[in-house]
């Protein structure tokens, strides 16, 4: 188009105005036809582009859902881990509290003169040993029963002192 304008300008100035109008008209028509061609091409390609965009959107949605599910699984496992940790810490605290309570009760019972389970077991073993010794001295086999007799109550320290007090007076 520029070449045509330069050619027309060079040929003459009088006919140049009519030729200029003709050239402009011709250029405008070419621009119009190029626009129509572009519009037609866009219509043809528009459907394909739309379908490609839909496919890309579906792919992106699947990827997003996958990432979201992964994050949800990760968060769930973290929460489960934290709950397990808290449970074990709480259990440890209860065990510690139970141990402290048992120690204090044990000390209180010891102050009151109540024998411990271990003391009772040791006494039972000594009684069994003494029974075996007596049985062997008597020449018979040790007579042993399957059930143990309950331990007799120990007299309190005050009761033992009362029993000894009259015996001292009689001896003196």
Mean pLDDT over the full length of the chain: 78
| pLDDT tens digit sequence for 114-168 | 888 888 999 999 999 999 999 999 986 555 555 455 555 555 555 555 554 444 4
Q: What is the mean pLDDT of residues 33-57?
A: 83
Place of tokens 């859902």: 65
Residue 157: the pLDDT is 53
Find out whether 16 and 8 touch, Cβ atoms under 8 Å.
yes
Q: Is the pLDDT of residue 171 over 50?
A: no
State the distance between the two ends of the chain, measured CA to CA, in whole angstroms: 153
Place of tokens 């510690």: 96
| pLDDT tens digit sequence for 104-127 | 998 898 888 888 888 899 999 999
DSSP 3-state assignment of 19?
Answer: helix
How far is residue 37's CA from residue 71's CA, in Å, rounded to a whole number? 49
Task: Give me the residue spans of the domains in the chain.
Answer: 116-142
SS3 content of the chain, % helix, strand, coil (to 5): 85, 0, 15
């Amino acid at each position: 188009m520029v070449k045509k304008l330069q050619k027309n300008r060079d040929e003459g100035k009088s006919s140049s105005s009519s030729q200029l109008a003709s050239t402009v008209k011709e250029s405008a028509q070419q621009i119009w036809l190029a626009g129509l061609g572009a519009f037609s091409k866009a219509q043809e390609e528009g459907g394909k582009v739309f379908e490609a965009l839909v496919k890309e959107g579906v792919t992106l949605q699947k990827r997003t859902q996958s990432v979201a599910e992964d994050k949800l699984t990760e968060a769930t496992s973290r929460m489960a881990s934290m709950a397990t940790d808290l449970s074990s810490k709480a259990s440890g605290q209860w065990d510690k509290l139970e141990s402290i309570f048992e120690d204090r009760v044990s000390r209180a019972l010891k102050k009151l003169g109540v024998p411990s389970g271990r003391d009772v077991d040791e006494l039972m073993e000594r009684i069994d040993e003494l029974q075996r010794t007596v049985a062997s001295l008597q020449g018979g086999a040790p007579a042993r029963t399957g059930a143990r007799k309950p331990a007799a109550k120990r007299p309190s320290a005050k009761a033992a002192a009362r029993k000894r007090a009259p015996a001292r007076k009689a001896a003196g």
